[in-house]
Amino acid sequence: MSKNYQQVLALVFAVEKINKDPHFLPNISLGFRLYDNNYNGGQTYENVISLLSERDKLTLIPPPLYGYESYYGYGQPSYNMMGTEDAEKVTIFPNYNCQGHKKMVAVIGGLTSESSVQMANMLDVYKLPQIHSVLKKTHFNNSAVEDAFLNGTGELAMYDILNWIQLDNGSLVSVNVGEVTLHSTKNYSIAINEKMTLWNGKFIQPPHSVCSNKCLPGFHKMPLKANPKCCFQCTECPKGAISNQSDMDFCMKCKEDFYPNKARNKCILKSITFLSYTEPLGIVSVSIALYSFLLSALVLAMFIKHRDSAIVKANNRHLSYILLSSLMLCFLCSLLFIGQPRKMTCLLRQTAFGIIFSVSLATILAKTITVVLAFKATKPGSGTRKWLRPRLSYFFIMVCSLIQAVICIVWLGTSPPFPDADFYSEPGHIILECNESSPAALYSILGYMGLLALVSFIVAFLARKLPDRFNEAKFITFSMLVFCTVWMAFIPTYLSTKGKYMVAVEIFSILTSGVGLLGCIFLPKSYVILLHLDRNQKVQITSKYFHK
């Protein structure tokens, strides 16, 4: 082929150039032998044996012919061309060489890697080195006035692209449809004539030279074990990560304030969310809280107006005033949970709720104890009348509330709540919330309120059948049952929700338990005061009320 012939001329030119210049290799002349194996493995092995052996006859034939042979050694080199018509006159004597003045220093590999491996198998026995290049990184014009480039391994960086076509008779022919040219170590060009390219009937376009399909944006390449590196499977980017290009080896994680879109090929800015006054859930919560506050205020005003009536006086009207006032504050404290969390609201909302509700529960417990003591005081010779003084009830309420206040002060002093942002609970949202900082302190507040409610429930349950016309122990029992049920359901619901819905659950529990106390304790009294004045009369407790 013409290009192989050009490569031979390049080698001859280089050797002659070195031999003519005394400064390159003084007193040493280079020579070479060149063999053509016709891309045949058997011929390659025979050529190697010939190279390693002496011959009994050398025939000089004028060039140019099919094969080339040249000798190298000391002194002037001789170039011998061996033609096919003289091949039968040559006799090979393996392992015999009588020309001691010629020394073999190296063997250049074949044009293909296959022939080079075949040569190496035999040269290794004789410990002869095999090289793949004479000139490296050399750029020159060949005899066809074409640019030629020898890369770092000494290989000519020009490659033909062949299209193998199967004919009707079953034979294969190759058609040169393009060329790859390496202009430099980092610059190359590919030229393909698509019109000359014929494809198999199964292909309608050039096939991909990979064993896996391209990974689209939103996916990344996952290597397959026991497979080549070019074989992979496309795996969707994990949660919180994206890939915005094809065939990415890994996905990029979005920043904290961004989240992936549905296709996971783009990061989108998260929206800020919290339970606000303007959204439906916030409007409903505020409406219920204000309505309950106004209802409590009306009941308080009614009790003050009818403070001298029998039903108001019989149930310790001063404790009723305290209970109604604390319930009004309970409804208002629920408003602290609505709106964007601030430092002050985070500090106050749980502590205010805990202390105010403790006052309400302590007042209910004091009212229940008062009912029991009042019944025992009616018995002849009873010494419990001294415990019915109002100051003792106030002192009891103050002590119970003070215990809750101490818990809250310790919480604020050691690990106070603070405004925080949750980036991960809800995809696409940044939740502004109050970080309670110490769950143990919060559950201590709830646990203490539960203790007060449980004691009130037990005492009221035991006193529910006392023969008093104005006995409210039954109503207190039912109100404590509602209160305990609400807060027992609150804890698992609170822990299973996130974001603003967690806040809404607590607001609902506060309002529901407060309305339960207001309705169960004061609704029956209000009914009597407003609609049955005949029953709101002072009646002397006589033995007929002890019929049970």
Give the tens place of pLDDT for each residue, 182-237: 766 566 778 888 777 777 655 666 666 667 788 899 999 988 887 777 788 899 99
Question: Half-sphere exposure of residue 454, counting CA atoms within 13 Å on the CB side?
Answer: 8
Give residue 76's pLDDT. Answer: 41
Euclidean distance between CA atoms 37 and 531, whole angstroms = 123
Closest CA to 239 of 427, 518, 480: 427
Distances (CA, A) of 153 to 132, 135, 138, 157, 480: 7, 8, 11, 10, 92
Alpha helices in 334-435 (DSSP H): 343-377, 390-414
Q: Which of 153-162, 375-384, 438-447 has the lowest mean pLDDT?
A: 375-384
Q: Two tokens at 194?
A: 């698509």
CA–chain centroid gap for 399, Å, is 51
Q: Work out the average pLDDT over 408-430.
A: 90
Asked whether 410 and 441 are in contact (CB, 8 A), the reply is yes
Q: Is the pLDDT of residue 486 over 80?
A: yes
Residue 30 falls in which region: left (phi positive, over 0), alpha (psi -120 to 50) or beta = beta
Q: Given pLDDT bands bounded at 50, 70 and 90, which one contains residue 377?
A: low
Closest CA to 316 of 377, 386, 383, 393: 393
Tell me what the pLDDT averaged over the chain comes to: 78
Q: Work out the average pLDDT over 151-176.
A: 71
CA–chain centroid gap for 196, Å, is 50
Closest CA to 192 of 206, 208, 177, 203: 177
Q: Is the pLDDT of residue 509 over 90?
A: yes
Q: Work out the average pLDDT over 423-447.
A: 89
Dihedral angle over CA of 459, 465, 467, 473, nearest 10: 40
Q: Given pLDDT bands bounded at 50, 70 and 90, which one contains residue 409?
A: very high
Q: List, for residues 88-113, the tens digit of each pLDDT value.
A: 445 666 666 666 667 777 888 877 76
Euclidean distance between CA atoms 473 and 369, whole angstroms = 10
Q: List, for residues 3-39, the tens digit of each pLDDT value.
A: 677 778 888 888 888 888 888 888 888 888 888 887 7
Share of the chain above pLDDT 90, in %: 31
Give residue 260's pLDDT. Answer: 92
Cross-strand bridge partners of residue 92 = 55
DSSP string, 40-61: -HHHHHHHHHHHTSEES-----
* CATH no. for 280-538: 1.20.1070.10
Q: Is the pLDDT of residue 326 over 80?
A: yes
Q: Where are the domains of the chain?
A: 2-156, 159-207, 219-269, 280-538
Q: Does the global pTM surpass 0.75?
A: no
Q: Is the pLDDT of residue 424 over 80?
A: yes
Give residue 459's pLDDT. Answer: 86
- Give the β-pairing of 232-236 and 418-422: unpaired
